Amino acid sequence: MAQSNDDAKMGLWMTSALVVGSMIGSGIYLLPASLAPLGRNAVVGWAVSLLGALTIAFALASLSRIGEGGIRSYIERAFGPTIAFLVTWALWWSNIGAQAALAIATASAASRLLPAFGGTAGIVTVGVGSVVVLTTVNLRGVRTSGGLSLITVAIKLLPLVAVVAVLAMRKTSGVPFEAFSASPVTLPNIATATALTLFALTGFENAVAPVDKVRNPARTIPVAILGGAVFVGLIYLASSSAVMLLLPPDRIAASPAPYADALVLRWGEQAALLAALGIAISAFGSLNSLIFGTGELAYAMGLRGDLPTAIARTGRDNIPYVAHLIGGGMTIFLILANSTKATASLFAFVLLLSTAAVLVVYLLGALAAWKENHSPASRAVYAIALLFITFAFYGAGVEADLWCLVLLAIGVCVRVLMRAFNSRAGSILAVEPLPAVPLE
């Protein structure tokens, strides 16, 4: 098996780009349409979600101080191999569902720029092509993937920053802002806004997916997770609120592209095309980050014999090429499934699992951090994270939560069968446990 070296690993900037790139996808550009009817509840919802996301990020950052090995190793240290597998399994499926959605979002935004690629056939072609291109990029090594993340992050921030700039210009011009929707500020409305905004803030967990591919992970990963989550959360709050202050609530609610509409106010119709380009690049960059993390998760499961050990095969710079090819193939299958009415329900089902499964990762990550760290101050933060995660499960809905339990049950069956098969074949790879490093 090829061994990596520090030159082939990701440093702070690339790891931070992985965090920001995973968090900023296409959903934020459509979110104001859902938030506009909630009025000031949306601002409160953003604040609650940001606080909750930061407590979860703090818990995962605390775990990453243990050292190398990825999230699988962190959870395994606290709760054993079976729970660690279920966390990895849940995050893997969550990422695959999100990858298919991002590929379709990339194609949909691109169709605004290139109308010839509109329609089902064109969107499927561009979506599948995006997966193929980015899987190839990730097969070339973590620094190639990380370099692309840096470039796309810089570009995808432009529409978000531009909307805030338009808001500032309007204030200096003396033109009054639009009024928020008159929806009363109530706990149910805040809960709805929190549920809507939370999933726009997910993605930072992918920074703990890489197995031994981050330089100085005990320092790099915590800084990247916390710094990236704060940065994205604040720019989301500012840009989403800006859209709601620039456009009337009824126009936002009816708009398929509220960010583009806000930019048109200042710079005309050409701004809508630039916004479409920004959305396409944003979704494309997020897809790149998720493909990287998804390959690492499958590699971790194959490495321990919980999936076929062929998945743990690596090439140059320790790149798990089999894991990347399988993840890309499954994503393409879901894209194709979404292209016909007969199989569209399968796509919707996987997305339902995707949203609930990531909460399993957060829950077990926060519990593992609680077990490892006995500091009263840190445990107070973990307690807030656990309360917030419980609230998020409630917001996700009973159906999503129940199907998530089914997914975990399937995972247990898969693990039992694969370990029995691999044990008879004598092919389970030896993995050294993490050293005992207490969290302070």
More confident residue, 276 or 351: 276
CA–CA distance, 146 with 302 (Å, rounded to integer): 23
pLDDT value at residue 394: 79
Per-residue pLDDT tens digits for 10-57: 777 778 777 887 788 767 777 787 788 888 888 888 888 889 888 998
pLDDT value at residue 207: 72
Name residue 214's beta-bridge partners.
Answer: 10
Q: Is the pLDDT assigned to residue 169 strictly greater than 80?
A: yes
Residue 12: count other Cβ atoms within 10 Å of its Cβ: 16
pLDDT value at residue 424: 65
More confident residue, 243 or 10: 243
CA–CA distance, 53 with 65 (Å, rounded to integer): 19
Strand, helix or coil at 85?
Answer: helix
What is the percent of the chain where pLDDT is above 70?
87
More confident residue, 346 or 364: 364
Q: Which of 168-182, 332-346, 403-417 has the lowest mean pLDDT?
A: 332-346
CA–CA distance, 302 with 308 (Å, rounded to integer): 6
**Residue count of the chain:** 440
- pLDDT band at residue 341, thresholds of 50, 70 and 90? low
pTM of structure? 0.76
Residue ranges covered by each domain of the chain = 6-425
> To which CATH superfamily is domain 6-425 assigned?
Amino acid/polyamine transporter I (1.20.1740.10)
Q: Is the pLDDT assigned to residue 440 strictly greater than 80?
A: no
Q: Is the pLDDT assigned to residue 84 strictly greater than 50?
A: yes
